[in-house]
Amino acid sequence: QVQLVESGGGVVQPGTSLRLSCAAFGFTFRSFGMHWVRQAPGKGLEWVAVISYDGKNKFYADSVKGRFTISRDNSKNTLYLQMNSLRPEDTAVYYCAKGFYVGDTAMGLDYWGQGALVTVSS
């Protein structure tokens, strides 16, 4: 069955960097766009970034543009989120999620990981 497993979360100081990984199982990873979504403690969901199936197209939320980079390694079935210049407001649970398609049209997110907590604090 489809499984997404995030890793790499932790406590870091403001201004530093962290890389999250998301290992994918149970589906043809190289065929699907993949996303990161985050949720600050006690707050709502915030879409963060997407990468196309082949890694050629990437889009970001304004709040992370220029600081975060999404990437993927289809040979390892793994999605990444490189987070630089971290701020306290980046503190959140970060979920990776698989894009859901009908034909070639994106229809949302159908499978999610369990989340990785990132805490940015001095």
Partner 1 sequence: DIQMTQSPSSLSASVGDRVTITCRASQGIRNDLGWYQQKPGKAPKCLIYAASSLQSGVPSRFSGSGSGTEFTLTISSLQPEDFATYYCLQHNSYPWTFGQGTKVEIK
Residues in the site for partner 1, rule: CB under 8 A?
A: 35, 37, 44-47, 50, 59-62, 95, 100, 102, 106-110, 112-115
Nearer to partner 1, 11 or 45 (CB): 45
> How many other CB atoms are there within 10 angstroms of residue 47's CB atom?
15
Least distance CB 51 / partner 1 (angstroms) = 11
Tokens of 61: 């939320």
Cβ proximity to partner 1: between 86 and 109 the closer is 109
Contact 91, 84 (CB under 8 A): no
Determine the Cα–Cα distance for residues 74 and 30; give it in Å rounded to an integer. 5
Here the tokens at position 14 are 């403001």
Shortest separation between residue 43's beta carbon and partner 1, angstroms: 9
